[in-house]
Chain A
Amino acid sequence: MLDRDEDILKAAEDWQKAGRGVALATVVETWGSAPRPAGSSLVINDEGTFLGSVSGGCVEGAVVTEAMDVIQSGKPRMLEFGVADETAWNVGLSCGGTIRVFVEKVG
C-alpha cells in the first residue's frame, strides 16, 4: 500500500497491446537483507527494455536474459539468486540476501 512504484504494470499492458512480447518478473521470496521486498516487480519487453526492479540493480541483467527465454517459450520460470550459489557470484547480489524471482509471460 505504501510503495510508490513507477507504474510498471500499466507499461506491461501497453507494451502487450502494442504487439510486443512482454514478461513480468516478481520477487516472491526473500531471505536475509534482500534489497526489494516480495511483490516487487520488473517488466521486460522483447526489445530488452525494462522498468522497475527486483533488487538494487544487482541481478536485473540476469533476470532480463531469462525473461527473453520466457517470452519465447511462454513457460514460467523460478529464478533464485543468493550469495551461496555460483550464479549469484557471477551476477553479484552483494547485499548478502537471497531472493526468488518468478518470471512469467504476459498475454
Chain B
Amino acid sequence: MKLAILHELNAERTARRPVILVTDTESGEQRLVKAKDFAKDPLGAELEKQLRMGKSANVEAGGKKMFLNVYAPTAKLVIIGAVHISQALAPLARSLGYDVTVVDPRTAFASPERFPDIPLVAEWPDTALPPLNVDAYTAFVAVTHDPKIDDPALLHAFERNCFYIGALGSRKTHAKRGDRLRAQGARDTDIARIHAPIGLAIGAVSPSEIAVSIMAEITAVLRLPPKEKEEAA
C-alpha cells in the first residue's frame, strides 16, 4: 500500500467518513474510493452494496479480481434518557458493536450504579450533545418521555442527519410532539424521520423486549436497502 493511500485512509477514518479500498489482488494496485464518489465509480453498485452491509468482499471486474475492503465508521448510539429501557438498551447496543452514550440531566437517573461501564452525561442536551459529534453514523433514541429533554435533543438529531431517529410514545403523544417541534422550527420532513412509536412491532412488553425491538429497527434501517426498509418500518 502506498503511503499516500494509507495516510488518506487514516484521515478519512479519523473524520468518520466511509471509504472502500479497492485492491487488484493480482497486481497489488490499489485505489481509495470515498462514499461520495461511489456514484461515478465503475464499481459503484458493488461499492454501495458492500458499504451498506458493512462487509468486505471480492468482486470480478473486467476479468480482474478485486478485493473491496470496507472502512465504515463505528456506529454510535446516543440514548436520551437514563430510564429503565435504557438500562437494557445500552448493553444490548454495545454487544452489537455500537459506541453507546447515555444523556440525562437528571442525576438520579444518570447514575453509574444504574449504568455500569456505560458513558453517561448528566447534562441537558444543549450542553451534552455538541461534544458527542453526533453524525450520519449515529442512531439517536429519545426515551425520557419528558419534552423538556427529548425535544431539544431531537432538534439536534435532525440537524446532524442521524441515520436513525426514534422516540418513545404512543401515536397520540407523537402527534403532540410533532406540533411542539414544528413550533420550534422543525420541518415536516424532519418529523417524518422520527420512528414513533419506537421499535419494530414485536409485541414487546418488558424493558428488555422493548430494547430488542429498538435494536431490531435500528439494524433494519442500517442494513436493508431503501425499499425493503420501508416495508420493515
Residues of A within 8 A of B (CB): 1-4, 9-10, 12-13, 16, 24, 26, 28-29, 37-39, 75-76, 78, 102, 104-107
Does B124 belong to the interface (CB within 8 Å)? Answer: no
Overall SS of chain A's interface = mixed
B13 surroundings in chain A (CB, below 8 A): 9
A66 to chain B: closest CB distance in Å? 14
Q: How many residues of B contact A (CB 8 A)?
A: 29
Q: A13-B3, A37-B55, A104-B28 are in contact. Are A2 and B97 (CB under 8 A)?
A: yes
In the complex, are the beta carbons of B56 and A10 less than 8 A apart? no
B10 surroundings in chain A (CB, below 8 A): 9-10, 13
Known A9-B6, A38-B55, A102-B25; 19 more pairs at CB < 8 Å? A1-B54, A1-B72, A1-B74, A3-B97, A9-B13, A12-B6, A16-B6, A26-B69, A28-B67, A29-B58, A37-B56, A39-B55, A39-B69, A75-B28, A76-B25, A76-B28, A102-B23, A104-B23, A107-B3
The listed residue (B2, B67, B70) touching A102 by CB distance below 8 A is B67
B115 surroundings in chain A (CB, below 8 A): none
Query: How far does the alpha carbon of A1 sit from the alpha carbon of B50 in the complex, in Å?
Result: 11
A1 surroundings in chain B (CB, below 8 A): 18, 54, 70, 72-75, 97, 137, 222
In the complex, are the beta carbons of A2 and B69 less than 8 A apart? no
Query: How far does the alpha carbon of A39 sit from the alpha carbon of B19 in the complex, in Å?
Result: 13
B126 to chain A: closest CB distance in Å? 29
- A-contacting residues, B13-32, CB 8 Å: 13, 18, 23, 25, 28
- Interface residues as binary, B57-98 with A (CB distance below 8 Å gives 1, 0 otherwise): 110000000010110111100000000000000000000111
Query: How far does the alpha carbon of A15 sit from the alpha carbon of B151 in the complex, in Å?
Result: 47
A105 surroundings in chain B (CB, below 8 A): 1
B96 surroundings in chain A (CB, below 8 A): 2
In the complex, are the beta carbons of A4 and B74 less than 8 A apart? yes
Query: How far does the alpha carbon of A89 sit from the alpha carbon of B183 in the complex, in Å?
Result: 69
A42 to chain B: closest CB distance in Å? 13
B56 surroundings in chain A (CB, below 8 A): 28, 37-39
In the complex, are the beta carbons of B98 and A106 less than 8 A apart? no
Query: How far does the alpha carbon of A3 sit from the alpha carbon of B18 in the complex, in Å?
Result: 13
A16 to chain B: closest CB distance in Å? 6
Does B181 belong to the interface (CB within 8 Å)? Answer: no
In the complex, are the beta carbons of A38 and B6 less than 8 A apart? no
In the complex, are the beta carbons of A13 and B7 less than 8 A apart? yes
B23 surroundings in chain A (CB, below 8 A): 26, 28, 102, 104
Does B9 belong to the interface (CB within 8 Å)? Answer: yes
